[in-house]
Structure formats: C-alpha cells, structure tokens
Structure 1
Amino acid sequence: MRVLISLCILVSISAASVNGVTDPTDVSALKIMFSSLNSPSQLAGWNSNGDDPCGQSWQGVTCSGSAVTELKIPSLGLTGSMGYQLDGLKSLTNLDISGNSLGGNIPYQLPQNLQRLNLASNSFSGGIPYSISQMGSLKYLNLSHNQLQGQLGDMFGQLPNLNSLDFSFNTLAGDLPESFGSLTSLNSMYMENNQLTGSIDVLKDLPLQNLNVANNQFSGWVPEKLKSINPQIDGNQWSSGPAPPPPPGSPSSGTRSNRNHNSGNNNSPSDGGNGKKSSIGGGGVAGIVISILVVGAIVAFFLLKKRSKRQSSDVENSYDDRPFTAFASNEVKESKPVLPSFTVVPPKPIETPIPVVSLRPPPIDRKKSFDEDDFSNKPIVVKKVNRATIKATAYSVADLQMATTSFSPDNLIGDGTIGRVYRAQFGDGKVLAVKKVNASALRNLSSEDFMEVVSNVSQLHHSNIAELVGYCCEHGQYLLVYEFYRNGSLHDYLHLSDEYGNPLKWNTRVKVALGTARALEYLHEGCSSSVVHKNFKSANILLDSELDPHVSECGLASFISKADYEALEQNSSSGYGAPEVALSGQYTLQSDVYSFGVVMLELLTGRKPFDSSRPRSEQSLVRWVAPQLHDIDALTKMVDPALEGLYHAKSLSRFADVIALCVQPEPEFRPPMSEVVQALVRLVQQEN
C-alpha cells in the first residue's frame, strides 16, 4: 500500500510538472525581478524559491502554455528596480508596472517582443534606453510621470506599429528627433511638461488625432496640418504672425487629403461634381501675395546692393549693433540673401575699422555640425545663436577673474588640449571649475561658433557627464564653467596613488567603468545626433565625492585645432588612440569604444596606457595585455597590485572579456556602447 501511494504521488507530481512547468528562462527572469523588487509580500504567489509562475498562478502573470505572455502588476506600492534579465521573457507582449515606486534607470534588457509597455508614475531616472528602438511590435509606450532626463535619442525609425506615445511629466530636453517622422501609425502623442525645444514640424505628417505638447520650450510655428486636431500647445514660445510660405514645389496645406480619407465626399476641383470650387482659394491668393512680396524684397535687395558700393560707410554703421563681430581684412564677403539673422563673421577679429566692404556672396556655405572639424581660413557664414535657449549661466570676465584670483597658478587644477582649468570660489561659497579655452583653439572660430558649441553642450544632460553650468564670451575671452569634482581625475587617482593613499577598490573600479560606459552610450546613441568624444581618456574622467565618474570635454571636439588633432592622431604614444585613427585621422564612434577599452585596462592593471619606463614588451598596455586577456593565470599576474587580491576571479574574467571586445584592432568588430553597458550591468548584478 505504501508503495502504491508513493507511486500515485510521483505520478501526480510528474503530471503537474508536464502540464504546469514554466519555461526555465522565464522563471529565472521573474525570480531575479522578484529579488530586485525587494521580495514584496504584496505579490501573491511570488516566491524566490518557486519554479512555476504559470502553474502556481503568480499574481499578475499570464501564460500561454509554458511561456509568460503578460505581466501586469500596477499600483501595488512596489519598490526597488525591475531587474536585469527581463529580455529573457521572449514571449512577453504586455508589461505594466505603472503606479509603483520603482527607481533607478530603466533597464536596457527589456523584452524585445513587447506590444504594450507601461512604466508610468514611478521614479525612474536617467535616459530612455536605446533598446526600445528594437521593439518592432510595440504599439503602446507610456513612460510618463517619472524623472527621465536628457535628449530623446534618434531611435524611433523602426517602430511602425506604435499607436500611442506618452513621455509627459518628465524633464526631457532637446529637439524632437527626426525619426519621429517614421511613426506612421501614431494616433496619440503626449509630451507635455518637459523641457523640449525647437519646432514640432517633424510631427506634421503623422496621423495624429490627439497631441499635447503644452508647457515645454518649443518655438517656431504650429504646422497647419496639426491645427485641425486642436492640439494642446499652451506654455511654449511660439512665433507670432503668419507662418512663412512653404518651399517652392511643396504641396499646399489646403490641398491635403482629408484625415479620415473620405474620398467619396471629396469636392476637389477635378471631381466635376456640384461642389466644385474655384481652383484658387483664399490660401492660394495669400500664397501669390506672399510670393510677390518675396520677389519684391529680393529685387530691392539687389538695388540696395548696388547703392551700397557707393555708400560703404553707411554699410559699416549697420554692423555696429552686432555682438562679437569684427573684421579681419580689407574685404569681407557677405552671406547670401537668405535670412537677415545670418551674419558674416571673419576668422580673427581686430578692432580697426575698414574703409571698404564688398557685398559679394561667398563661394560656399559653411554648415557646421556639433562636433565637425573645419580648419578653413576663409570667412564663414554662421547663424546667430539665440542665447535664451542656452541652459547655462552667462558670467562676466570680472566675475571669473575674482573667483580665480585673476587665474592664479595657485588655482590651476588641470592643463588639457583645449585649455587650462582653474578652481573658482565665488562669494556665496560655491566652488566651480573654469576652463579657459586656448587662443589656438579658437584661431579659426568666431564668437558665434563658440556660442553655438556652448548652446549644444548645454543640452547634454546625463548623470555621468560633467555638467556645463556657465560660460563667458566677452573682450576676446572664451571660458566654460563646470561643476567642480573634488576627487580630481581618474588618471590622478590611479597613477598618483602616493598622494591619495587610498586606492580604488575593485567594485569601485567596476562602477567607474559602468558610469563612463553609460556616458558614452548617451553621447553615441542617446543624443538626436551622435556625438563623438574624440579625446576620451582617464584624465577626462572626473570623480565626485562618492567616486562616481563624470566624463568631461563632451561636445568640445570643434575646439581642437588641426595641429592638436595631428598630435592626437599619434596617440599611439599615449596609448589611447585606435589603430585606424593613426592611419586615417578619422575619429568615429568605434574609435571612442577603443579608447574606452584602454581606460578599462587602466582600471584593471593600474598602469598608464603607455609607459616608456617599463620593459619594451610592456610599454604599450594594449599590446602587452590584449593577447593574455583570456588567460586567467596571466591575467591575475597583471592585475593592479594595489587591489591586494581583493576581487572575484569570475568578475575579473568577465571584466577582461569586455576589454577584449573593445580593443579589437578592427573597428567593425567592436561592440556599440549599449552592448558594453549591458555586459557591465550583468557583471555588477552578478557581483552583487
């Protein structure tokens, strides 16, 4: 009888296992999530020791067969984070964790087959993970009422099914990405209560029925196509007056098809029906009038142009109210007659007036990108920067001289490629860092170029990027004001240990690597236009009082002169430069990844990237370490002695695996920074 009872129990257990066992990958992901949520008691049925969410009816878990397809646990007072292995839920289509108190960054490892993602009303910070761009089936995305910040990455080009998008009530900044124009199924968009800037023209052709962009910093005009849906647009900086006419050849807004595509009731001029109207309506008349006015203005311009040759002194006086503008030669070329807000800025200002001004159009237009290099000595055409859009404080030279004691050598804390950095203490006790840009860095740049860079850099917001808090541009002085980080640079902390006496512990080194990786990921993949750092090294990684890293000199590549670039191209002598840079002089996202790998080698070994005092075979850190990164015995011998063996061998091995990927000689084989971040996040979670 006992044997019979035992057999019955075994059969019933086996039957339950066959019918109810959940996919092991799904089980692992949910158990890690349960632990990351601080093992909440309010999740009925959840158990870190359980192995069958589907069969045991875990609260909020819906399954199809052995696969978890839905996870809905909103408004349960949950805390902690979401976990780091959610991408293991391959069949999950609906994830709703809204209305809780989850914090930290939204994880990069999100399920890729989601159709609905709702993380609203939590306390998530940081940026929007780039992995969302890979969710081709996504229809509903709600990240509202969090603490998200930074710019919207250009990541929405592969989301053709997205129907509803809600990023409202965060602190997102910057312009709307161009890839928004690819959201061909978008019906509802809610972006209110952020710090978004620029125009909303990219939305004009979307099939929107609901749009809320209130309480941002948008400018320009609301497209006519959007006005018909009565969008909520209050609290922005819209331009007054009529919008400019569309470019020649573009379709008039009055001739667009009805939003509901009701072709059976279309009284167009060509339908021949009783509802036929005049082929030139009110909009057409207005267009003709505006065209006549534009043509008249152009004719008047050229008439005045001829007269200006005889009245050069009058032309000179018209420039008197233009800030930061002077003339460097006896002949200055003026910009093409496009917009009056464009000015001609020569390469090197002097204070003497000129007797003659020639008003011939320049041979080429200069369109300068955020980090593009241009070493031409020709006069350039630049657009005036609206200083109201700069998210930084304007300081006077006098203020900064007083705070730095006239840039005293006693306050000098760094001397880099772009300029020297001084400690500045202000009257209210606040301490900041002031970078005095070298004159050579601005030899071929104007004050407007400087302000353009300041405007762009002020838009960079990430917890691991050194924050620009101010600037100065007057009396020929160009200065940048940053937060001050008391622990100096990573280079000093690693290589001047005698002065600090407190070497970085292993888990701190991993944390520094992860933070700097996130900063580069934001520059490469999180900004509307990718930003190549071009000068990534441990000296440009600053440590705060908690030893959290902050990458400096982001977005300042245009300040590096051609001669300085030629020096950087020989970075093999300093150890940071990727092999292809020395050959071609071209800096790319992949060359940044290589430089990041070198910094990881510094963290691993405690050695400089190039050290001529070492034996010849060990002078180049990459050449010495790279061939041995997968040999744990050799690797252990190369670890920084200051760690005194206080690390896990598996953690060390995984760290080395990431380095090996980053410092590969072929740039096409190096991973994007988002993959590097994911690998380091997994390392940190496993270490914990």
Structure 2
Amino acid sequence: MEKGGRVVVLFTSACILLWMAIVVNGDTDPNDATSIRILFQGLNSAPQLGWPSNGNGDDPCGQFWKGITCSVNRVTEINLSNLGLTGTLPYGLKPLTSLTNLDLSSNNLGGTIPYEIPPNVKRLNLANNNLTGNIPFSFSDLTSLTDLNLGHNQLQQGLSFDFSRLSTLSTLDVSFNALTGDLPQSLSLLPDITSMYMQNNQFTGTINILANLPLKFLNVENNHFTGWIPEQLQNINIQAGSNAWSSGPVPPPPPGTPPAPKSNQHHKPGGGSTSHSGSDSDTSEGGKKSGIGGGGIAGILISIVVIGAIVAFFLVKRRKSKKASSDLEKLENQSFASLPSNELHHEVKLQTSSLIDPKMFDTSSSINLKPPPIDRYKSFDENELSKKPIVVKKTVSVPANLKSYSIADLQIATGSFSVDHLVGEGSFGRVYRAQFDEGKVLAVKKIDSSVLPNNLSEDFTDIVSNISHLHHPNVTELVGYCSEYGQHLLVYEFHKNGSLHDFLHLEDEYSKPLIWNTRVKIALGTARALEYLHEVCSPSVVHKNIKSTNILLDAELSPHLSDSGLASYIPNADQVLNHNIGSGYDAPEVALSGQYTLKSDVYSFGVVMLELLSGWKPFDSSRPRLEQSLVRWATPQLHDIDALAKMVDPTLKGLYPVKSLSRFADVIALCVQPEPEFRPPMSEVVQALVRLVQRANMSKRTFGSDLGGTPRGSDEPGLRDF
C-alpha cells in the first residue's frame, strides 16, 4: 500500500507539473492565438468580453476566454452573439482552419466583410449588424458551409459569388439588405438547400432557377421579381408577396420539356374537384367504380382534338425556328473557327470554369431539357436574330497600345480566378493577381455584370479606348483587356506593395509604418495624378472614387492612382458609387445630389491626406459617435498646433517636422471645405505640397529606414525623394 501510495503521489505530481508547463508555454496554436488577438483588436478590445489585454496572456484554449471553444489546441468555435460589440470584422482570420462555427450576430459591427474568412467554417452568422459593401467572392470557396446568415445588414450589389461548390449548404439567409440584380444561375446547383430567405431586398428577374431545388421553405417577399412562381414551388411553404408577378395563366413549357415533378402525387390527374365528400369517397374505395360516363368520353375526345392542334402548331413553329437556330450555330462556330487549335482546346475546357456559364457554349438544338439562363433558343425569325445583342458577330476594334487577352489566357494566369489570386474588391468588380508563363505579373479587374451587362460590349470598347489614352507616372497603366462571352476585364500593371489602405490600417509582421517623408511623397504623387486628370486631359476626367484603397504603392512606395477614368466612362457609374456614400470620402454635395465633379475629387483627396496624417479611417463606427466621421472631428482642430500633435498617427512616434505637419494640415483644410467653390484646383494643391517639401527641414532623423523611395527625376529643386 505504501508503495502504491508513492506511485499515486508521483503520478499526481507529474500531472501538476505537466499542467503548469502547458499553462506557461500556452495551450493554443500560435496562429490561432494571433488571429484571436487580431479579432479582439478589430472589436475595439471590447471590455465586455473579459479577454486579457496585451501582455496578460495570449492563450484562449489554455485559459477560459468567453465565447471561445477549443479542441485540443485549436479554436473550433467563436460565439460572440448579442454582446453589444462594436468595431469591424478584421482581416487575418484565415489561419483559423479548425474553426467550424463563427457567430457574431446581433451586435453593432460596421465596415465590410473581409474576403479572408476561416476556410472550413460550417456555420457563419453575421446577421443583425451594420455591415456594408458586397458579399465577397471568396465565399465561393467556403465549401463546408451548411448555414449562412447575413440577414439584417446593409449589404449591396448582387449575389455575385459562385454557389456551385457549396454542396452542403442547407440554409441561406440574406434577407433585409439592399441586394440587387437577378439571382445567379449557380443557385440552381445547391443539392442540400432546404431554407432560403431573400425577403426585403431589391432582387429582379424571375425565380425559375429555384424551381428544382429541394426547398421546404422560401421567402422572397418585398423584392422586384417578375414572371410566374414555378409550379414546383407552389407545393412548399413559400412567401412571395409584394413582387411584380405576372398575371394570367403560366405559358406552356417548350415542346420536349419533361413534366415538372409534383410533390402531391396522390392527387388524381385532371381538373376535377378536390372535395372528399359525396361520390369522390365512393370511387376511392377499392376502385369499385372505375367506369367512365358519357360526359367523360366527350371530354377526352375534345382533349385529343385540342392536343392534336397544339402539336401541329409547334411542329410548324419548330421548322421555322430550326433555320434561325442553325444560323446562330454558324455565327458561333465562326467565332470558334477563328481561334488557333490549341486555344480552341482551352475554350472547350472553360465549360467547367466558374467564370463562364457552360450553357453559353450550348449549340445543340432549339429544344433544351434545361432552359439556359438567357432564353437564346426560343422561336424567332431572322429579323429578330439580327437584334440579339449577345450574338458575337461584331468585330471589336483593339486600341493600338493594348494587348487583347483571351479568357483562356486569364483563366490560366489567375488560377481560374481563384480566391488565392484575389487581391481586392471595389465598387466595379474584383481584382486578381495574374501570373503569366514568362514570369510577368499583372492585375486583372473583372467588372461585375451588374455594373456592365453583356449587352454593352460596344460601350466597353469605348471605355477601354478612353482609358488607354491616360498616361502619367502616378496613374496605374492599362496594358490590356478582354471582352469575350459577355465578360469584361481590364488588365493593369501590378504594384507589389498593395494599397495605401493596407499600409495604414492592416497590421502584419512584414509591413513597417510609413514615415513622414513617405506620406508626403504619397500625397504629392496622388495630387499630381489628379492634376493630370483634371487639368491636362481634355476633356477633364473626374475620378469619382478617390480613396486609400485606390492608391497603389510600388516597390519604392511611390503612389499610382487606380481606376482612373473608369467611373467617368462607365454608364450609370454614379448610381453604383452612390451605394458607397457614407464611407467618409464623399463631399457633402455628393450625398445630396449624387453628382460627382472636379471639386468633389478635391474633397476626397483631402480626406486621403487626413487619413495619411492621422492613421484613422475616414468613417469608423467603432469610435464614439462624435469621432466616427474623421472630417467632422478633425477639421476644427487642423489649425490648433497642440490638438494637431495629438491627432498625428502615433506610429510616427513624433518623427516629423512640426512646420511640415502644420502646412500639410493647411492643405487639408482647404481641400475639405464644405462649399465646393472654396476648394482649390489640384494644380494649386500640387504647388502647395511642392512648397511644403522645399521649405521643410527634412532631417536624417525623419527618413528612418530608407522607405522614402528613390528619385523620380523631378524638376523641382530640393525635392529629394519627391
């Protein structure tokens, strides 16, 4: 017994020592711990969570952290619902590869949804917040999703991501947002979907693509849907009020279409009464009364005559449509015949791509078992055929200084536009990093179909031509484009250091804070780009979308203004950009009228300068109410040197010339004047910044670690790095 007691004591002591070692060394995977800390910072280090602050432990699995569930040393669940949290959902959560449940619903989170969501999450709930922007395309790769709830936010644009890979999704809730556009064709490829909530949005088009889904509940109320509710959906729990449904009987399906499956197969065919009283109950017992009366025979004869007439009618129509259909096939075959054989091979392989709908290549016959998303093969005559905008029969003039890329080229270079190549999302579309065989790296901007529909290919040619004439050292250069199969893509030079927004607001171990000289250089280079667009180009180009995410930095941290000319030449671009009003960059008059001018560009540039000075975002819902709008909070303090010193980005650590800071603030104050007529033209802004640099005593102390870049051949004396 004594020996056994010693064994127990030794075992207990060993367990205690092991436990102490685990607590000291940390029980959480280091990547998970870092991501949780990033989340904590994004949530404004919310005190209601009770998580330890920096320096007081970083071990959510080894310690008890509210809302965090672990398995061994990996975080598997984050449930922080209904805690009054503020701030934003940050980037940097992708390393949480064991996370299966992320619930941040019913809080006060603002900003946009980052495209770096934990890749293996099954249940994602961000409902009942203040999230804005669009739903990231990277959601296409969340292949483990079973439940997705984004309801009751302020999300905009369409459902532009690809649902075809979300094979386990059973519940989708995007209700009570401001989503627009037609439902994507890939929605029809959800094999396990049972509940779908789309009410209170601005969706358009029909809901036909939902017809064959295994839905049990569907809510599409309060949208702008048209057409008829498919027969298959009338047998489920559906709420469809307040739409623009068509009245009258549903038109018959095309000949050859199989009958729609019915969920109530026990009902008798025909148009008889559904009553279960009287003679109906007699005929249902053991099939005793199976005879057909004289009225029934007459009805059958009449039905045969009517059906015969319908069949004859469609046979005639089908002969007529065959000629039109064969003409269409010839046109499409000609477009393929013009390709080299190896490129044609690529084009055929693209049928499985997420970018191109395989049905776009269907040249079979005028009868399809599954109707394509665009009713291209309905019966029409030759005159109607000539009016079809989607038929590729018009040669596109290629601007001389640009390269025309095929979709096959860009598919290969971007890994089929995979999320791994995604570098950003903007108002007009997503941007991908493209790696070509010869080692060249470019940026490909895929314009959303909701911004530029496929019937505006002629407009796209004009857009490309106009942008191709913009040449300036501080304007991102357009090097190519692609216009095939209704897709519109722009190919730009690639800048390896990303955007100014990333440098100012996204912390990582590789990036260093921008020193003062570099911030002034970025402001001056961006001002020169705008001066070129406003005062050198004829006619003047209004950028309309000046913000830190559109200022790209090259290897020397010199700025390049992206999306230049895009908003000026895209039809209805103002309506697209108006969805982003409230971001903090737009001038007061834009919020009132929705119209952009040269002077509204000047205002937005002033906001970027203020962002450079303070390190704050232009609008931050996580801050106290009086500090959420950067311009409103900072403007009264721009001429107070003491207040200005407190406003400066703390990452500068006081390493800046005071006079330079003061003059920088003076330029900001001029640019963000509430009245547009009092804002200076960009040429005067450039001159003021040049004088600032010339007068400033740029000591070696402010240069830090040579982040200011190299000389660009400026003709102003004393500009050094500028």
Question: TM-score normalised to the size of structure 1?
Answer: 0.48
Question: TM-score normalised to the size of structure 2?
Answer: 0.46
